[in-house]
Amino acid sequence: MKVRSRLITAGLVTFVVALIVFFPARVAYRWLAPDGIALAGISGSLWNGGALEGQANGIYLRDIAWRVQPLKLFTGKLGFSIEAAPPSGFVDANVAVGIGGTVTLTGVKASLTLQSLQTIVRMPGLRGNVNAQFDRLIIDSGLPVAADGVVEVADLVAPAVNQASIGGYRAEFFTQESGVMASVEDTDGVIDLAGSLQISSDRSYQFIAQLAPKDNTPASVRQQMQFLGSANERGQHQMRLEGQL
């Protein structure tokens, strides 16, 4: 009887493992895909599969490949490593999807363009090259509720400020009880900038920055800065942006 019981147990374990390893990715996608995720050209299995193209919260990706991380199942999440290619660049990350659809990303490394993030930034005409690294990024219903990492933008073009590049900028994100915060500064920008960004749980955001011209600041940008009001004793103008995500 003991031998028979062991054989039955071994058979059940083998069946479960085989089910996970060979379960069709197309079927798993129909059952498990969270809101904001759309895939096309799905192939392979739940364990090790891919898609020709897709969108994640409005970001278009191609050549998507994933591999399941089985230990994540013990935390009640479906976890996998993912590699993908936006129209220009790459995205690598470890992803865990909770039962409620919350997406947790760790070990994020990405290089892409601001144009590919238009659905997120919602500023028409904004251009530049983005490099990002996040130890942790948690998204719930399309809203970042936790973020710890760095985003750097090079060759930023903001038509509302200047038609040519205004240089590079860096944002360091961290998580607080009130929401996601970031400190923002210029790296080689034509504007001396120091500011802070706050994203709250009610989807509101607030960006406050102090701006000052540099020796290489274009005359058109200097003129734009005059509309921000009088400068303080350090020659800085305050800029404030608020809205809803």
DSSP helix/strand/coil, 25: helix
Residue type, 164: A
Name the token pair of 242: 């608020």
Tell me: pLDDT of 16 over 50: no
Longest Cα pair distance anywhere in the chain, in angstroms?
Answer: 89
Span 66-117, pLDDT tens digits: 888 776 766 667 778 888 888 788 899 998 877 777 888 999 999 988 888 7
Whether the Cβ atoms of residue 210 and residue 228 lie closer than 8 Å to each other: no
Question: What span, in angstroms and rounded, lies between the C-alpha atoms of 220 and 237?
Answer: 15
Q: What is the pLDDT of residues 23-37, one digit of tens each?
A: 666 666 666 666 667
Confidence of residue 171 (pLDDT cuts 50, 70, 90): very high
